[in-house]
Chain A
Amino acid sequence: MNWYLAAALVLQVALIPCAWVCWRFDPEHRVVALGLTGTVQALALLCLAVGYREPGLASMAVVLAALSSGGSVAFARFLERWL
């Protein structure tokens, strides 16, 4: 296990508070935790790509970063209009 795989493991453990917030709180809290989760997951995927030396996986991290940001905005608009 190199440093980047260890970093990916640490980032996955760091998602536990976000999961707890998504599980226990109101939708306002959940959408905030979802935004942080997307950021952390993109960084974890990037660390996994570097750790396993798979550049294609790093491209997926780029896509995940873009889509998670757009998804957070979409959820926020949905929250303010219909929920």
Chain B
Amino acid sequence: MTGVISDVLLVAGLVIVVCSCAGMALFDDPLDRLHLVTPAAMLGSTGISASIVVRYGLSSSGLAALGVAAILIAANPLTGHAVGRAIAIRRGAVWSDPADAAAAPSGSECAGSSGAEQ
């Protein structure tokens, strides 16, 4: 039974990652492509790591699988934000840090932190 659950989790994680990679070839906009990284990092890593933990328990491989999943899940929002911000700035958006805007003298208000101006 444990082997079946492990195989199902592995296949589910693989399907998510493969679909995300296939979507890279289908979408045209980099921001659309950026949306494909999240399922692979969140759901794909969870499925594959859970498969390893279910099959091998909390052995060294299982702990490494948990570490990989934890790092990918924690770092993916930061990476996605940094890449999205870089793309927005390259497209001409004005992107300011709210802390910088608060420290700036009055009358030199910058654009909002959303950075959605085109």
Residues of A contacting B65 with CB < 8 Å?
46, 50, 58
Tell me the total A-B contact number using a CB cutoff of 8 A.
142
Is B5 at the interface (CB under 8 A from chain A)?
no
Fill in one digit per residue for B1-26: 1 if any A CB lies within 8 Å of its CB, else 0: 00000010010011001101111110
A31 touches B7 (CB 8 A): no
* Cβ-defined partner of B48 (8 Å) among A46, A62, A72, A79: A46
Chain A's interface size range is 35 or more
CA distance A17 to B116 in the complex (A): 29
Instruction: Give B63's nearest chain A residue, CB to CB.
Output: A58
Q: Indicate whether A55 sits within 8 Å of B60 (C-beta atoms), given known contacts A39-B37, A42-B68.
A: yes
A46 touches B86 (CB 8 A): no
Residues of A contacting B111 with CB < 8 Å?
none
CA distance A59 to B64 in the complex (A): 6
* Cβ-defined partner of B24 (8 Å) among A10, A11, A17, A70: A17
Fill in one digit per residue for A33-56: 1 if any B CB lies within 8 Å of its CB, else 0: 101100110110011011001010
A17 touches B22 (CB 8 A): yes
Residues of B contacting A46 with CB < 8 Å?
48-49, 52, 64-65, 68
Q: Indicate whether A14 sits within 8 Å of B30 (C-beta atoms), given known contacts A3-B10, A46-B52, A47-B48.
A: no
B40 touches A36 (CB 8 A): yes
Least distance between A47 CB and chain B CB atoms (Å): 7
